[in-house]
């Protein structure tokens, strides 16, 4: 019998599930969906904080101690780099280091690492209408970076950006703060990852 899966989720407010109950956030819904598929899991370990950039996540990881290995690691980071107008070249370097860390935790098994694309917050009511096109262009640029690095390391890449661009016409995917995402949207992200994990674990 396999041991329960240990899953590490790295990121920012989107990983935490800002403005939704803990159990409705992506990491806990991921575990819940895997359990429904008869795959036993420990509670997810979440290393994420609202507002973190890739550099702040990296700095935190370097200051803390974690388990030597995890069965799966997810990484979703970069929106705050974009929001603050930070250098995309610095993001490229920091993201690659973060992905290398994720691979180390899985004994360099690319199939056990998932990169999720950055949601487009410009399509939420929080953003001003005249900013939306520029935000979308910037988000696409950051996602081109994280996707190219994910591809180079042969890890899973899950594009969740497309769905988040429906926020202006589908209020069900938004949390109450009108900036972050609801449990309904987190469930979609979790399902995308859980489907792949379940296939690999069977």
In a domain, 1, yes or no: no
Nearest CA to 153 out of 91, 81, 104 is that of 104
pTM for the full model?
A: 0.97
CA distances from 200 to 72, 84, 85, 116 (A): 11, 38, 38, 18
Domain that holds residue 11: 7-201
Total number of domains in the chain:
1
Q: Would you write out the chain's pLDDT as a tens digit for each of its 202 residues? A: 579 999 999 999 999 999 999 999 999 999 999 999 999 999 999 999 999 999 999 999 999 999 999 999 999 999 999 999 999 999 999 999 999 999 999 999 999 999 999 999 999 999 999 999 999 999 999 999 999 999 999 999 999 999 999 999 999 999 999 999 999 999 999 999 999 999 999 8
Is-contact 105 41, C-beta < 8 A? no
Nearest-10 crossing angle of helices 132-152, 88-105: 40
CA distances from 194 to 34, 52, 199 (A): 6, 25, 8
Whichever domain contains 183, its CATH number is: 3.40.50.1110
Nearest CA to 72 out of 148, 3, 1 is that of 3
In a domain, 2, yes or no: no
For residue 1, the model assigns a pLDDT of: 54
In a domain, 70, yes or no: yes
- Give the separation between CA 63 and CA 160, rounded to whole angstroms: 30
Burial class (CB in 10 A: 0-12, 13-18, 19+), 92: middle
For residue 40, the model assigns a pLDDT of: 97
For residue 202, the model assigns a pLDDT of: 86
Please list, in sequence order, all residues whose beta carbon lies within 8 angstroms of the beta carbon of residue 59, skipping any fewer than 6 positions away.
Answer: none
For residue 31, the model assigns a pLDDT of: 98
For residue 2, the model assigns a pLDDT of: 79
In a domain, 67, yes or no: yes
């Amino acid at each position: 019998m396999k041991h329960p899966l240990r899953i590490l989720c790295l990121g920012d407010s989107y990983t935490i599930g800002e403005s939704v109950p803990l159990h409705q956030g992506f990491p806990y819904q991921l575990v819940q969906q895997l359990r429904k598929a008869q795959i036993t899991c420990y509670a997810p370990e979440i290393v994420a904080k609202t507002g973190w950039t890739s550099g702040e996540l990296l700095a935190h990881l370097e200051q803390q101690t974690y388990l030597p290995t995890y069965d799966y690691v997810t990484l979703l980071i970069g929106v705050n780099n974009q929001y603050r107008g930070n250098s995309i070249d610095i993001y490229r370097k920091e993201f690659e280091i973060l992905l290398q860390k994720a691979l180390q935790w899985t004994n360099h098994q690319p199939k056990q690492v998932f990169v999720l694309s950055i949601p487009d917050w410009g399509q939420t009511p929080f953003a001003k209408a005249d900013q939306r096109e520029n935000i979308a262009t910037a988000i696409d640029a950051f996602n081109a970076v994280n996707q190219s690095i994910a591809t180079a390391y042969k890890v899973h890449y899950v594009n969740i950006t497309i769905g988040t661009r429906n926020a202006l016409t589908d209020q069900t995917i938004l949390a109450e703060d009108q900036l972050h995402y609801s449990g309904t949207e987190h469930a979609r992200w979790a399902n995308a990852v859980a489907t792949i994990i379940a296939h690999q674990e069977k």
